Structure 1
Amino acid sequence: MAVQYGLRTKDEASVVTLDTTTVSIRSIKTVTVKGNGAWDQYFNIPEITAGSFVVMATAATGQYASTPDAWWTPGQLHLRRAGTGTWQVLIMSYGGNPPAGVQYGVRTRNNDLVTQIDNQNRVLTVSSSGSFFLGRRAPGDYVKSQNITFPAKVTSQEKPLIFLNSADYMMVSGFYVIGSPGNWTGFHLDYWSGHNNVAAFTVKWMCGDFSRLISASGYGARVKDEVGRVIFSTTENIILLNGPPTSNGFTVRGTPLEFVGWFYSSFQMNWTGSKDDYVLANSLMNDVGYPSGPTPYYESPAGFLSGRRDVLQAFSGADGQSQPSGVNGRTVFAGRPMRPL
C-alpha cells in the first residue's frame, strides 16, 4: 500500500468528514478587472499559473448579463467583447508554490491530490441546494424557465457560484443570479429546446459561497486567518473542484444547428465521465441581447447529452446577422459536494 500523507478528521459519530488522501480541496482567489472598451483586452494577473483553473464571471446584475470570451496564459488574461464592464476573475489554486502573503493555512499533498487552504484563498462551501423541473410535461405544456430562491440570502459582494447537474440529459441557457452585492437571493434558468424540443429533466443545483462566515462548532479541524476568522472547517460541506485545467477546453465538435434566421455552432469539452460532477453555470450559460442597433442577440446554451458524461456540450448561437464559429472562449469547471447533499 502506498504511503498516505495528509489530514483526516471524523465527526462525533466517527464518520470521516475529511480525508485529503482521497479528495483534493482547491481554494479560490477572486480578482477584479475593468474593461477599457477595446474588442480584445489583456490583463496582467500574476496569480494565474500554468496549472490554474480560471473562470470569468460578470459583476453586472440584472437579466442575461453576458460574460466575455476568456482565455489565459500564465500571468495574463485575454478577454474578448469585455467592453467597459467590471469582471470577476476566479482563480482556483492548483497546489503550486504559495503566493506572497500566504502565512496562515494548511497544505497537504498525496501523489496528485492537493489541499491548499490559506488566508489568501477561500474554500467554496455549499450554502444551499435543491432541484427543479424543466421541459415538456405534455403536448403544448412546457416549463420553460424557473426562478429559484435561496433559503437564505448570500451576503458576499461577489456572486455565488451555482453548479448544475441532472440524472442524464440537460440543455439549458439564460442563466443569471438574482439580487445585488451583499443580497443575492436566487438565480434564473431557461429550458433550451433547440437541441431536443420534447426533452424533460430535473435540474439538481447547489450554491457555492466562499465568503460567508464558517461555523466554529462541531468536531473536526478548523483553520483561522490572520485576524482570527475561521476560513475552513471540516464541519462544512466543501465543494471539491475539478475539471480540465486548461485555458481553452472547448473545441468545434458535434453537429451544428441551423434554423430560420439562426445558426448555432457546436462545441464540446472533454468532461469527467462521472454523473456525480456538477457543472458551473456562472460563466457557461449566459445569454446577451441587444434591443436596438446592429449588434445581434447571442445565445449560449449548454449541458449534458443523453448517456454521455465524457463531453460537455455547448452551442453558440446568434441571429441572422452573425454565424459564430471558431474557438469557444467560455470557461468552466466541475464540482461535487464532499458529502451527499
Structure 2
Amino acid sequence: MTVKACGAHSADQPLVAMTIDRRAPGPQDVQIEIAYCGVCHSDLHTVRSEWPGTLYPCVPGHEIVGTVSAVGNDVAGFKVGDVVGVGCLVGSCGQCSACGDGLEQYCERGMVGTYNGPTNDAPGHTLGGYSQRIVVDQGFVLHIRHPQQQLAAVAPLLCAGITTYSPLRHWNVGPGKKVGIVGIGGLGHMGIKLARAMGAQVVAFTTTESKRDEAHRLGADAVVVSRDAGQMKAQQGSFDFILDTVAAPHVLDAFTALLKRDGTLCLVGAPATPHPSPSVMGLIFGRKAIAGSLIGGIAETQEMLDFCAEHGIVADIEMIRAQDIDAAYERMLHSDVKYRFVIDCATM
C-alpha cells in the first residue's frame, strides 16, 4: 500500500513530499498510523550523506509515536487502538549473544535501522518515520503509557531518551552518586532529567554562562561553565560518572580529571572527526575509564518509557509541519531549538 512521506532523493537536494510503499502486515507485524516523529541530528547526517552509506530515496525518522491500525495473526501483546512507539531499530538477527542478552543494538550481524537498513521491502532499504504509516515486527514495537497530551513530547524519548537512560542505568547512577552531564541539548537535557529522577546529584556542564538558569530548570543541582578553569578545578576528582553528549571534538582530559578513582566518562555524542587523543596517564593514575554507549535494547527501551511515564518525564519540544523540516535542519545546525523538533505527521 502507498502512503505519503517526506524524504530526499540525493544528498544535495531538499526533503520533498513523496509516496512510498509499505508492506501489508505479515503474521508477526504491527501496522502503525504515525502521529508524531521526532527529528534527530542523525537524520540530518544521513540525509546529507555526512555519514557514509546513505541509500536513496532516504526517508528518515526513528522517534515514532502512533496508533496500531492492524496486527498480524500471530501478534501477541498489541491490538488495534494501542498507542505505541518505534525507536532506532526494527530488526536484528535474534541469534547472536548480544540479541540473546536483549542488547539488539549491538547485534553481531548488524541491527536493522528504522531507516537506511537492509530489508526485502521495496526499495531494498528501510524507510523511516517521516511518513503516515509504518509496519514493524512486533518484537520491535513499544508500549507508550504517557497521557494523550504528552504524546508528541514522548517521541524523542525513542532516541534521545534511551541514548541517555541506557548508560545511566548501566553505570548504576542513583542516590549517593555525583553525575555530570556535558552539553545541554537534545541529548543533554534528557540526561539531566533522567539522572535527577534516578536520585543522583546532577551537575550540568555548559560552555556558556547563559544556560545556567535553563540547566537548573531542567533539574541540575549545580552548573559548571567548562571554559572557566577555576570552576572546573573546583570539581576535580569528585564525579562517579560523567555522560558526555557533545557531538563535536573536544579535549576529554578536562573531564577525566573530574572523575573519582574508578569513575567513568561515557561518550554518547558522535563527532564527525575524532576527539584529541586523551592522556593515558590521567586514566592510569585513578583506574578511570572512557567508554561509549549506543541507544538501548528493546527491553531496556520499554523500561525507559515506563520509567518516564511514572516520573512524568518527556522531552522539551517544538512542533513543526512536515513542510518545515529543511528549515528545522538549518536551525539544528545553529543549535536553535529547545530541545527537539517533532513533526506533526498529520501535516504530511
Q: TM-score, normalised by structure 1?
A: 0.22
Q: TM-score, normalised by structure 2?
A: 0.22
Structure with the higher fraction of residues in strand conformation: 1
